[in-house]
With several copies, the nearest count.
Chain A
């Protein structure tokens, strides 16, 4: 493994020593991770811990997308921000924390609302995408963009005391539309602003999203493709579900897809891509 270690500097070998000595990770895993990139969409309750553990582990390039600014009521769960960065764009607040921890990571903040006009341009530059968003419209947008570009999508969500995690569009596993061809009725969708969330719950899910992304990038192995992890934080229990494979009838990843380019997802879902207003009026 002398030879493989060539991809790492002396400082990197020292810094990541506790990972390097894991036989299942090793120098090879570290070099793969260093040569990889991930895009974390949403610098909130899920995105903060996910980005933090990806940066700590030594990912090469880390993109962060969020259009929002830090508010005081974010700080109970969005742990990359601080009292001093209230009113600062979240991606800038988060990047500053990440760089303090690991200046070797190339951290790229996108202070924009992801939409059909910019999603493909941004996503195509990354190996894996983490969905850490807070609304249905952006989840369909990310799904379709990842299918069109052939990127795995590590999708986390959290609300109240519950969390969910799965990886879409990877090695024969389903995409979001394979599971949910139609969006849910807007009145059944609750976000964290309305429903509340205990901060440690997205903390757990965000750490697991980082773990899955690291596994995908360093070992080309998915833990959550075609599986759904359910976390019930009120009971402290987890459940791992077997999901259907990719569906031939899927509108975007199926055999004769009707969705071949990005759409208007706010209209498709009947709801806004902002977490601040729940339903947009269509009529």
Chain B
């Protein structure tokens, strides 16, 4: 599968794990296997995460309290970790806020 150029964004505090940068242009390298959301998580953990991977990934998925969106749609509507990534996808990780 060819490389994938996507935008990865963090908000609600999730950006604090990624150098306090909210928007990243990411190029996923070409490889044999498909690039899906599940593999993106581990690529981000290995390549973009600055600290505390347990605050981003727990087990095989994203930790509780972070919503994953692709192109402004909840990943739950897209097949979750199985969703296959396309060029120009915008993947957003939102840490939910609780303050008032």
**Do the two chains touch directly in the complex (Cβ atoms below 8 Å apart)?**
yes
User: Which residues of chain B come closer than 8 Å to A244, judged between CB atoms?
Assistant: 74, 76-77
Of A44, A162, A179, A239, the residue contacting B72 (CB under 8 A) is: A239
CB closest chain-B residue, reference A247: B76
A80 to B63: give the CA distance in the assembly, Å: 37
A247 to B77: give the CA distance in the assembly, Å: 11
B29 contacts A by Cβ under 8 Å:
no
Interface string of A161-199 (1 = CB under 8 A from B): 011100000000000000111111101111110010100
B7 contacts A by Cβ under 8 Å:
no
A192 to B98: give the CA distance in the assembly, Å: 9
- Is the pair B64, A189 in contact by a Cβ cutoff of 8 Å? no
Apart from A242-B73, A244-B74, what are 20 other A-B pairs with CB-CB below 8 Å?
A42-B100, A133-B98, A134-B99, A156-B100, A157-B97, A157-B98, A162-B11, A163-B97, A164-B94, A180-B65, A184-B64, A188-B65, A191-B98, A192-B99, A195-B13, A197-B99, A230-B12, A232-B11, A242-B77, A243-B74
Interface string of B40-77 (1 = CB under 8 A from A): 00000000000000110000000111110100111011
Number of B residues whose C-beta is below 8 Å from A? Answer: 23
Number of A residues whose C-beta is below 8 Å from B? Answer: 46
User: Which residues of chain A come closer than 8 Å to B55, judged between CB atoms?
Assistant: 185, 187-188
A36 to B65: give the CA distance in the assembly, Å: 33
Interface members, chain A 233-251 (any B CB < 8 Å) = 239-244, 247
- Is the pair A190, B13 in contact by a Cβ cutoff of 8 Å? yes
A160 to B77: give the CA distance in the assembly, Å: 29
A202 contacts B by Cβ under 8 Å:
yes
Interface string of A121-160 (1 = CB under 8 A from B): 0000000000011111001000000000000000011111
B81 contacts A by Cβ under 8 Å:
no
17 residue pairs from A and B, CB less than 8 Å apart: A132-B100, A133-B98, A135-B98, A157-B98, A157-B100, A159-B12, A159-B13, A159-B98, A162-B11, A162-B12, A185-B64, A188-B65, A190-B13, A190-B98, A195-B13, A239-B72, A247-B76
Of A180, A184, A202, A243, the residue contacting B100 (CB under 8 A) is: A202
- B interface list, Cβ under 8 A from A: 11-13, 54-55, 63-67, 69, 72-74, 76-77, 94-100
Give the dominant DSSP class at A's interface. mixed
A70 contacts B by Cβ under 8 Å:
no
- B54 CB to closest chain A CB (Å) equals 8
- Is the pair A159, B97 in contact by a Cβ cutoff of 8 Å? yes
- Is the pair B98, A189 in contact by a Cβ cutoff of 8 Å? yes
- Is the pair B100, A44 in contact by a Cβ cutoff of 8 Å? yes
User: Which residues of chain B come closer than 8 Å to A89, judged between CB atoms?
Assistant: none
User: Which residues of chain A come closer than 8 Å to B12, judged between CB atoms?
Assistant: 159, 162, 164, 230
User: Which residues of chain B come closer than 8 Å to A202, judged between CB atoms?
Assistant: 100
Of B63, B65, B66, B100, the residue contacting A192 (CB under 8 A) is: B100
Of B11, B65, B76, the residue contacting A183 (CB under 8 A) is: B65
- B71 CB to closest chain A CB (Å) equals 9
- A125 CB to closest chain B CB (Å) equals 22
A191 to B67: give the CA distance in the assembly, Å: 19
User: Which residues of chain B come closer than 8 Å to A247, judged between CB atoms?
Assistant: 76
CB closest chain-B residue, reference A235: B22
- Is the pair A241, B73 in contact by a Cβ cutoff of 8 Å? yes
CB closest chain-B residue, reference A77: B100
A158 to B100: give the CA distance in the assembly, Å: 5
- B46 CB to closest chain A CB (Å) equals 21
